[in-house]
Amino acid sequence: MERETPCAPALLPPALAEALAGYRWARDTVGESGGAVYHLRGAAGAPDLYLKHGRGSVAEDITDEMTRLVWLAPRVAVPALTHFTRDTDAAWLVTRALDGETAYQLLETEPEQRVAVVDALANFLRRLHALPPADCPFTADHRHRLRRARARIDAGLVEGDEFDDARRGWSAEQVWAALTALTPFTAESVVTHGDYSLDNLLLRDGSVLGCIDVGRAGIADRYQDIAILWNCLGEFGGALQERFLDRYGARPLDRRRLDFHLMLDELF
């Protein structure tokens, strides 16, 4: 699919418009999550940038991402924050673009590199999960996410037509009933990314350069990240899923927790 569409500059607060003058704009078509994402490039002597903008609850999500970028920056590779502006209803977040290609792009276009890519993703996730949880100020555990998921269902925000094939035709209430039936379980609390998917990881020369879209980062069960990446890798075959589990060290596989987090992710 076409990942970007050229567009006119968005309407910005005056100071931010001045700071971003001279860039060519393109609207990102992947993973906007209710807001707008723009790729800015071509300004003389200036780095490529990404800008996220949203209002209401999306502005809250963007603000969450900004605070997490600030905390993660000295600990793990994330995009450098260049500008953040917030008013009563809207937020604008600008970061430097990371080099490299997404894990999805590499898996799709360079099949001979697939094992190396999966190994790099597993190694990076192990480093992230090794950060001391006591140092992390953000809560993202499954109890917190269950409360948010229930609120999203009640507000009619969950789109059933976007569920994975395993739950095709299910209603949001059916997903809710199935995932709550898998509780309680004993979580292993670590610092998680929250959306550890193939489009959120950038690589070059066999190494992960960094992760993006960290607005859900926080202390949670390690299977929050394991489940999402395992599910993404299914598009490229079960052998890569097994390779990831082996390389990360998720053996024996806890299928109950894996299924719980897969279903919980359907509601966001």
Residues tagged active-site: 195
Is there a contact between 225 and 196 (Cβ–Cβ < 8 Å)?
A: yes
3-state class (DSSP) for residue 100: coil
Among candidate residues 49, 129, 143, the one with its CA nearest the CA of residue 96:
49
**Residues in the chain, total:** 268
84: tokens are: 């953040």
Torsion, Cα 210 35 149 213, to 10 degrees, reads 0
Radius of gyration, alpha carbons of the chain:
19
Instruction: Name beta bridge partners: 28.
Output: 4
Q: Which of 170, 184, 171, 200 is nearest to 142 (CA)?
A: 184
Q: Which residue has the tokens 């299914």?
A: 234
Element of type H or E holding 92 = strand 90-96
Beta bridge partners, 93, equal 52, 84
Residues forming beta bridges with residue 36, ordered by sequence position: 53
Please name which of 258, 267, 87, 86 lies closest in space to residue 182, comparing C-alpha atoms.
258
Burial of residue 202 (number of CB atoms within 10 Å: 0-12, 13-18, 19+) = buried
